[in-house]
Amino acid sequence: MMIRSLIATICVAFAGTAFGATTTEPIRIGMNCPFEGGSADMGLSVRAAMRMIVRELNSVGGLLGQPVELVERDDRADPETGKKVAAEIIKEKVLVTIGYCNTGVATASIGIYQDAKVPLIVPVATGSLIANKFAPPASDQNFIFRTAVPDVQQVAFMVKVILKNGWQRVGLMADTSGYGEFGRKDLEAELAKHKLQVAHMERFPTGIKDLRPHMERARAAGVDVLFTYTTGPENALISQARADMKWKIPHIGPWTVGFGNHLSAAGAAADGALTAQTFIQDGQHNFDRQAFLRNVTRELGTDRVPCAMCAAQAYDAMQLVIRAIGQLRTQRTPLTPLTMRDALENLNEPVRGMVTVHQKPFSREDHEAVSQNMLVLGVVKDGKVRFANASEEIRSLIPQRKNVAEGAR
């Protein structure tokens, strides 16, 4: 399988060095996301990708002689629980954690990792400030990294879609979570750059059961495009209300528009929605991506990955961790959270992921691994996210390297 091939490549690359482990103690890697409720599609997809990798690693003797152990926690998409599990995971003496799917939960928790000086790689949460809150000069050493595209870049990408289509009156539907609040600010700021503004805004709590009144007010305000900043269940309510009202207004938004629990609940009502994506499940794929999707669905016991982007970005985070560990071993450097942080900032070999081939993804000043140029436009059709443009589908077969100018924004 592809993970075993990766391990073989690493072992060959570092053959003849002092790479072998001197202990059989497990390498402990933290992992947390929500595994139940409205955000579970994200967390279950992340967990499946990481369990898949760890199972493959341990089936061939671990990572260079040391077994790998996941320290898993369910943060329930709740900020207070997120802080609690951060403290719990750190106490388990992890080398690094890959975690957080929800912006509000991540924002509440990253300071705990920063204070403990334990690296955290965020594979899903997209709030714009997460990875760079502690970047220099705010802090001399930043312990927060990310393998997801920040909201500010997704918004810029989708505003280009707005401009291309000539839409002028943007209606914003945003929940009141940290994700919706930070997304609202990013959208307003990006529109202002183009002398546009939100023409009408509706806010609502997550878990709401009916958004028809909000949609009626948006229609009365005369908006010509709906930009939604919320997760799957609430996007489904928006799609259903839009269909019930026979309101043929374009529905666009960041990657959350493509959530499986939006598409499954809304059915045909979601068709036509446009969304920013780093990884589209239904399209042309090279051998590695085909194997990845096959193995993750096997891990899940399903025929589809509920959040393919989440799984792909978690996979990339784990590959960066594996490469950093290999680099430390060949440099005869002890594995500690501090040396792990330094290695991530100074990776000296390309790392093949699912989103891209990562070439020096991080630096001291920039802890964002993915940039706007890696995004593609997805369109919902028949319950699936597909490529909106054939040219982008072909382009996606060739990994887009990081645009360093975008990374630290």
pLDDT tier, 1 (very low <50, low <70, confident <90, very high otherwise)? very low
Strand order across the beta sheet in which 376-381 lies: 198-204, 170-175, 225-229, 251-253, 274-277, 376-381, 384-387
**Percent of the chain scoring above 90 in pLDDT:** 87
Q: Are residues 13 and 128 in the same domain?
A: yes
**Structural domain for 145, as ranges:** 2-149+283-370
pLDDT digits (tens, 9 = 90+) for 214-255: 999 999 999 999 999 999 999 999 999 999 999 999 999 999
Number of domains in the chain: 2
Q: Are residues 22 and 41 in the same domain?
A: yes
- Is residue 346 domain-shared with residue 364, that is, in the same domain? yes
Asked whether residue 201 falls in the same domain as residue 92, the answer is no
SS3 of residue 47 by DSSP: helix
Each residue's pLDDT tens digit, 178-200 = 999 999 999 999 999 999 999 99
Q: Is the pTM of this model over 0.75?
A: yes
Identity of residue 335: L
Give the DSSP H/E element, type plus range, for residue 352. Answer: strand 351-352
Rounded distance between C-alpha atoms, residue 138 and residue 132, angstroms? 9
Q: Are residues 176 and 86 in the same domain?
A: no
What is the spatial distance between Cα 251 and Cα 270, in angstroms, rounded to a whole number? Answer: 9
State pLDDT tens for residues 349-396. 999 999 999 999 999 999 999 999 999 999 999 999 999 998 888 888
- On whether both 24 and 139 belong to a single domain, the answer is yes
| pLDDT the model gives residue 406 | 63
188 lies in the same domain as 261: yes
CB 161, CB 151: distance < 8 Å: no
- Per this entry, what is the length of the chain? 409
Q: What is the pLDDT of residues 156-185, one digit of tens each?
A: 999 999 999 999 999 999 999 999 999 999
> What does the pLDDT read at residue 408?
46
The domain that holds 23 is classified in CATH as 3.40.50.2300
In this structure, are 139 and 205 located in the same domain? no
Nearest to 245 by CA among 267, 220, 262: 220
Same domain assignment for residues 134 and 22: yes
Are residues 381 and 244 located together in one domain of the fold?
yes
How deeply is 31 buried, as exposed, middle or buried, from its count of CB atoms within 10 A (0-12, 13-18, 19+)? Answer: buried
Let me know whether 300 and 161 are in one domain.
no
Place of tokens 């989708």: 158
How far lies 403's CA from each of 231, 314, 341, in Å? 28, 20, 22
83-103 pLDDT per residue, tens: 999 999 999 999 999 999 999
The rounded distance, in Å, linking the Cα atoms of 290 and 312 is: 12
170 in the same domain as 232:
yes
Tokens of 278: 């780093």
